[in-house]
Structure 1
Amino acid sequence: MSAFQIPKFRLPAFVATIGSRLPQWPHSLHMAAALNLVLKLKLLPEDTLTALEDKLFRVHVRDTGGIAHYTYRDGLFRPVFQPAREPDLAFAANLSAYLQLLTRQEDPDTLFFNRELEITGDTELGLIVKNMLDAIEFSQLRPRLPGLPLAGH
């Protein structure tokens, strides 16, 4: 394990108040770009990507007020700036939980059962996405993105 551990924290409420009033489209744009990078690096299991086709996703960072909407269509993740319907799958958590998840300090099941990660929508789709995330070998990013701090490496 890395010497650095991301602590559990919650940003002050005023951050979410301000953040929720800011334009949300940059979050969607950046989320889609990050997912497309992972896609380009061939870190996502291609056999399960078809299950994501035309599904709408939402990622809400509660304590920042940030919300990203995106979809997967025609082989790419695409930002959705004004969703016309409820997402097929939605995630909500504080920033610290997402950071712990991304660095593999915590797994999605632990965060979910500790009520730090809320997942709503299509249960089967949620399981597919969870398994896709679990299949990603983040260690493969290190040679391609030097200096990337990842727990456990």
Structure 2
Amino acid sequence: MPALPPLPSLPRPPMLAELLPGSLRQRMTEQLSGLRIPAFTVPAPVAKLVSRLPQQPPTRLLTLALNLALDRILPRDTLAPLSGRHLQMRVLDAGLTLDFSLAEKGFHRFTSDQPQKPDLVISATTRDFIALALREEDPDTLFFSRRLRMEGDTDLGLLVKNTLDAVDWDALKTRLSGRRS
């Protein structure tokens, strides 16, 4: 079967900030940069419902996000000890349990014929995971305040934490903003 020709690249739509006049954009950026995620928890009835739903769709979203970051901001060679290991992320207030693993082609949903205890379980609330992702909270602060828990292979937990700490988030922001200009 002959190879298909590459699809033409589409122009990138302008970002909302690019459509605003300079002074308004600057004021909005200044105001938004000071915002913090408010303290919240997912309501118990919602968590009860979510815990009964299939966990595959949110797990696929997590692995997609991790694969987008892999090799861009998460160095694959550093994460090599995670290969083939059963990792689990528990979003405590939302009733989510996401099982995943790292393979040669990237992160994927963990599946097994036999029930298996995860090698590493990372637990926190929705708010705390979002704060970690946005770098509003430091993993050490959350860990020592018992808002982030790691169970299982502590070496894997330290590897994950140290990898996240080693990411140069400011350089990444600069690189991403440079692409948009």
TM-score (norm 2): 0.73
Which runs of 4 or more aligned residues in structure 1 lie more than 6 Å from their structure 2 counterparts after TM superposition?
Answer: none
Structure 2 residue 79 is the aligned partner of structure 1 residue 61: no
CA distance 1:6–1:64, shift in 2 (3 Å): same
Q: Is the 8 A contact 2:120 2:156 kept in 1?
A: yes
Q: Tell me the residue number matched to 1:71.
A: 101
Q: SS where residue 45 of structure 1 aligns?
A: coil
Of the three residues 118, 130, 138, the one matched with 1:107 is 138
- Structure 1 distance, partners of 2:42, 2:177, is 28
**Structure-to-structure mapping, 1:17-28, within 5 angstroms:** 17-28=48-59
Q: SS where residue 89 of structure 2 aligns?
A: strand
Q: Is the 8 A contact 1:100 1:106 kept in 2?
A: yes
Q: Is the 8 A contact 2:79 2:159 kept in 1?
A: no
- Structure 2 distance, partners of 1:69, 1:143, is 31
**Gapped regions of structure 1 (runs ≥ 5):** 147-153
**Gapped regions of structure 2 (runs ≥ 5):** 1-29
- Structure 1 distance, partners of 2:53, 2:105, is 30
Residue 59 of structure 2 aligns with an amino acid whose one-letter code is: S
- Structure 2 distance, partners of 1:48, 1:76, is 13
Structure (1 or 2) with the larger CA radius of gyration = 2
> Could you say what the CA RMSD is over the residues aligned between the two structures, in angstroms?
2.1
Q: Is the 8 A contact 1:28 1:81 kept in 2?
A: no
Which deviates the most, 61-70 or 137-146? 137-146
- Structure 2 distance, partners of 1:64, 1:95, is 7
Q: Is the 8 A contact 1:32 1:79 kept in 2?
A: yes
Q: Is the 8 A contact 1:15 1:63 kept in 2?
A: no
Q: Tell me the residue number matched to 1:11.
A: 42
TM-score (norm 1): 0.85
Deviations 1:77-122 (A, max 9, x none): 1112567311111111111111111111111111111111111110
Deviations 1:51-80 (A, max 9, x none): 111111111111111121110011411112
- Give the number of the structure with larger relative contact order, counting CA–CA contacts within 8 Å between residues 6 or more apart: 1
How many residues are matched? 145
